[in-house]
Structures are given as structure tokens and as C-alpha cells.
A and B are shown apart, each in its own frame.
Chain A
Amino acid sequence: ETGVTQTPRHLVMGMTNKKSLKCEQHLGHNAMYWYKQSAKKPLELMFVYNFKEQTENNSVPSRFSPECPNSSHLFLHLHTLQPEDSALYLCASSPRTGDEKLFFGSGTQLSVL
């Protein structure tokens, strides 16, 4: 285990649903990240949080809404998603932004019907 836990592991939702992805890290890190991994595409950085403050939003559509209540927890709230949003969503953490090594969770495999 990497010390980064994501739930749920799998999620199927309709385009009108609202759901949330959760990430928790037990490593004492201060930076947390959301990545999107689609088939045959590079990992796409979505959001970066450093000490609970959002430091990067990589032009992500507003139907994805992140929340970082503390340095150990990160959420991704989803609403009115599109089928093309189906992907593996990965959470990662590091001691701080700009640190060299990321620790990833196992991801949430999302299917939007």
C-alpha cells in the first residue's frame, strides 16, 4: 500500500447524477493532486492543492468540483458528467508541491452512462 486510499474503486453514474470521489492520505503530506487517466492518453493533471489551498486548476470543466478540507483529505465532486468523462481518476500526494516523488492511490474507475 502506498498510504493513499481512494474510494470508491468503481463508480457507474448517469449523466444527471451527483457523486463524489474521496481520497485520504496517511503520509503526513501537504500537497494533493487529482489526475485523470483515459485510454491511450497521457495522465492529465486536473487540480493541485498545497496546504489546503488550490494552486492549480488545469482548465478543468466546472462539472468537476474539488474540495480539500484538510491536508489529509481530497474530494472530487461530480455532477452532470458526460460519457467522455469516463476514465480512471487518480489521487496522489507529496510532502509539498514541487516535491520530486508522487504517491498514488489505486484510483476510481468511473463510467458515465
Chain B
Amino acid sequence: SQQGEEDPQALSIQEGENATMNCSYKTSINNLQWYRQNSGRGLVHLILIRSNEREKHSGRLRVTLDTSKKSSSLLITASRAADTASYFCATDAVGFQKLVFGTGTRLLVSP
């Protein structure tokens, strides 16, 4: 399976702290994406990093990609209570035309 797996499954931090989530996958990819899901809602696209990129930034988000280790990390800096959500990585594997999602990391940011 090309499925991504996020680590940790759950993360609890205080406002202002940084949150780091990791994603590992199994096959060669074209790109890797991170999505956010508030409880009971749909997923919202956050950021995409291509296989030839190593790092990407978007506001308070920083994503890294290590294709040799088949892993990615999502860093949220200066977290806020509104960042409380589940975060999913999704991989677009070479030769496939569909995204495959991982099981997600549940982030709780306490005021």
C-alpha cells in the first residue's frame, strides 16, 4: 500500500508552542500534500510539496520532504486554539492518478 502514516496519532500542546507532525509513505511520489479537517467537516488543502522540493513555507506552516527516507513533516509555528483539528498527509504516487490519505494526526491546542 502506498498509504501514508502520520505520527503521532494525537498531539496536545499549549497556545504559542510549535506543533510537528510526521508522515511516512512507501512508494515513489509525484507530490505530497497536507490537509486539515475540523471535526465532522470536510478536508481543506493546506500545502503541496513536489518530489523535487525539500522545504516549503506557507504562513505559519513549514513542510519538509525527504524522499530518501520517504517521509515528510508539517510544522505549525506559534500555534493557536483555532489550529485544533486533524491533519492528514496525502500522497500522489508515481503511476497512479489518485491521492491516498493517511490516518491523520489529531492536534489539540489549549488556550
Interface residues, chain A, with chain B CB atoms under 8 Å away: 2, 4, 6, 40-43, 45, 48, 56, 88, 90, 92, 97-98, 100-107, 109
Least distance between A50 CB and chain B CB atoms (Å): 9
Chain A residues positioned under 8 Å from B100 (CB to CB): 42, 45
- CB <8 Å contact, A98 and B97: yes
- CB <8 Å contact, A90 and B103: no
User: Quick check: is B59 within 8 A (CB to CB) of the other chain?
Assistant: no
Least distance between B39 CB and chain A CB atoms (Å): 10
The residue in chain A whose Cβ has the minimal distance to the Cβ of B30 is A100
Interface residues, chain B, with chain A CB atoms under 8 Å away: 3, 31, 33, 35, 40-45, 48, 88, 92, 97-104
A-B pair number, CB within 8 angstroms: 51
Majority secondary structure, B binding face: strand
- CB <8 Å contact, B44 and A104: yes
A2 CA / B35 CA spacing, docked (Å): 13
A54 CA / B45 CA spacing, docked (Å): 24
Chain A residues positioned under 8 Å from B43 (CB to CB): 43, 90, 92, 102, 104
